[in-house]
């Protein structure tokens, strides 16, 4: 399983190389974001070309693929990256692959986790890495899809569902796990304390003036006219 992690995803190439060197070839690949790209290219037999492209990728060349746009649904239109994937994959679909592959995406609006397992491979990859605000979402199967890392950054569940008995997971964000802790009391809040003190002060003022109001009210409640005696 190849998890999401942006540029860290180049490490997936080394993991796959090591597995192949030991005679381990997966029957199922489930990938999220950059994991979907590397996994899909590996399944399509394009891992060598992708590795060569990565090794030649300088900062200047990387910026050349970022076609910034104004007024769209993403900061980067992603057209250049899509064309690069299409050049490598052509019209290859999931059905053309020699193994079962799933690209994980998130449905906009519902937040549902979508497993892309059919259709054009390049479109599925684009949907899986469409980070909100950066890349525009992709319309596939009548659903607007975006980055799968939002719902399943390490798609072990998808691999199990596709029939994998032994799962090898590559987590690119393991250093971010285990840093959290539980804080049962978030501590004092000066603004809350000030508002609470003001409410108590207002309550106390109302308590002081309440007897005076009742005393004045008793006079206003008496009849003003004279009562004639028979």
Instruction: Tell me which residues are annotated as active site.
Output: 33, 147
Copy the structure tokens of residue 72.
């769209």
Copy the structure tokens of residue 7.
């540029």
CA distance 131 to 148: 9
The values of phi and psi at residue 179, to 5°, are -90, -15
DSSP 100: E
Copy the structure tokens of residue 86.
């299409």
Q: Residue 116: which H helix or E strand, with range?
A: strand 113-116
CA distance 196 to 224: 44
Q: State CA 179 to chain mean position distance.
A: 19
């Amino acid at each position: 399983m190849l998890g999401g992690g942006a540029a860290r995803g180049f490490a997936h190439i080394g993991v796959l190389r090591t597995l192949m060197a030991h005679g381990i070839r997966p029957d199922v690949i489930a990938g999220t974001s950059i994991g979907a790209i590397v996994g899909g290219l590996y399944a399509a037999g394009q891992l060598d070309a992708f590795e060569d492209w990565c090794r030649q990728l300088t900062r200047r060349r990387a910026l050349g693929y970022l076609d910034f746009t104004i007024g769209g649904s993403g900061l980067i239109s992603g057209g250049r990256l899509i064309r690069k994937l299409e050049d490598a994959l052509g019209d290859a679909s999931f059905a053309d692959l020699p193994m079962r592959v799933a690209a994980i995406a998130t449905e906009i609006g519902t937040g549902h986790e979508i497993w892309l397992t059919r259709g054009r491979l390049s479109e599925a990859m684009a949907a899986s890495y469409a980070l909100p605000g950066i890349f525009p979402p992709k319309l596939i199967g009548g659903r607007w899809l975006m980055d799968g890392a939002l719902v399943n950054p390490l798609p072990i569940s998808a691999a199990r569902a596709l029939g994998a008995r032994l799962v090898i997971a590559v987590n690119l964000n393991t250093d971010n796990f285990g840093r959290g802790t539980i804080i049962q009391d978030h501590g004092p809040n000066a603004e809350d304390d000030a508002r609470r003190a003001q409410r108590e002060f207002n309550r106390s003022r109302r308590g002081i003036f309440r007897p005076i109001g009742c005393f004045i009210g008793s006079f206003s409640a008496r009849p003003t006219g004279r009562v004639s005696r028979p």
